[in-house]
Amino acid sequence: MRFHSSRLALALSFILVAALCATARAQTDLALNLYGAFSGTTNTNTTGNATFTDSPSNAAGGMFELRHIRNPLIGYAATYSFNRANQVYSANCSLCTPVGVSANAHEITGDWVVSLHAANLRPFGLLGLGLLLNQPSSGQAQTRSSDQAVYVYGAGLDWGVLPHIGLRFQYRGNLHRAPDITTAYGVSTLAYSHTAEPMIGAYFRF
C-alpha cells in the first residue's frame, strides 16, 4: 500500500512539474493595437468658487507594445501610444467663452503583466506606470505642453491563431491629471481624469 502511494505521489509530482514548465515557457512578442480613447469631463474649483471645466474629445489611436513573459507571475511590457487629444476649456463666468485646443497625446509606459497560458489562449492582467505628454498643435496662441505621470491598469486575452501570430483583445484604464494645455483663464487644471481604452490588435511572437 505504501509502495503504491509513493508511486502515485511521484506521478502527481511529475505531472505538476510538467504543467508548471509548460506554462512557464518564456514568450516575447511585438504587438500593434488600435484603440478608442474615451475621457471624462473634469471640473476644478478656483478662487471665488468659479468652476474651470475641461471637456476632452473622444479619439482613435494606436499603440506599439513589446512584451516578455517569463512565467505566469513575471511578465513585462513596454508601450508607446499616440492619439489625438483635443480639449475644450470653459469657465462659469459671464464674460468667459469656451476655448478649444487641438493637441496630440503621446504615452510611454512600463507594465507588469501576470498571465496564464492554456492551449492557444492567454488571459492576462497588468499594472503600469508611465509618462503622458500632451502637445498642442503648432500655431495656437495661449497654449503650453502638459507632461504628467500616468497610472495604468488593464486586462485582456491573447488568442494564438498561428504558431507565431495571434490576436490581442484588451482594456486599459489610464488615471492622470487632466491635460493643462491652455493659459487662457490663468488657472491650472488640478482634477484627475480617467481615460478608458478598449483595444484590439495583433502580435508576432519571436
Nearest to 151 by CA among 195, 87, 104, 181: 195
Across-strand partners of 167?
A: 159, 202
- Give the integer Cα–Cα distance in Å for 123 and 182: 41
Helices of type H across the chain: 2-23
Phi, psi (rounded to 5 degrees) for 20: -65, -40
Q: Count the neighbouring beta carbons within 10 Å of the beta carbon of residue 174.
A: 23
Amino acid type, 172: R
The three cell numbers locating residue 97: 467663452
Determine which of 40-44, 191-195, 198-202 has the lowest per-residue pLDDT on average: 40-44
Examine the pLDDT at 17 and tell me if it is beyond 60: no
Report the CATH fold assignment for 26-205.
Porin (2.40.160)
Mean pLDDT to the nearest integer, 59-82? 96
Cell 488571459 found at? 123
Q: Who's near 68: CB < 8 A, 6+ residues apart?
A: 26, 27, 28, 75, 76, 77
% of the chain residues with pLDDT over 90: 66
Instruction: Give the confidence band of 23 by pLDDT, cuts at 50, 70, 90.
Output: very low
Mean pLDDT lowest among 18-27, 46-55, 143-152? 18-27
Q: What is the pLDDT of residues 141-155, one digit of tens each?
A: 999 999 999 999 999
pLDDT in tens, 159-170: 999 999 999 999
What are the residue ranges spanned by the domains of the chain?
26-205
pLDDT tens digits for 175-187? Answer: 999 998 998 877 7
What lies within 8 Å, CB to CB, of 62 at 6+ separation is: 32, 33, 34, 35, 81, 82, 83
> In which residue are the cell numbers 508576432 written?
204
pTM for this structure? 0.84
Distance CA 87, CA 56 (A): 4
3-class secondary structure for 144-193?
CCEEEEEEEEEEEEEEEEECCEEEEEEEEEEEEECCCCECCCCCCCCCEE
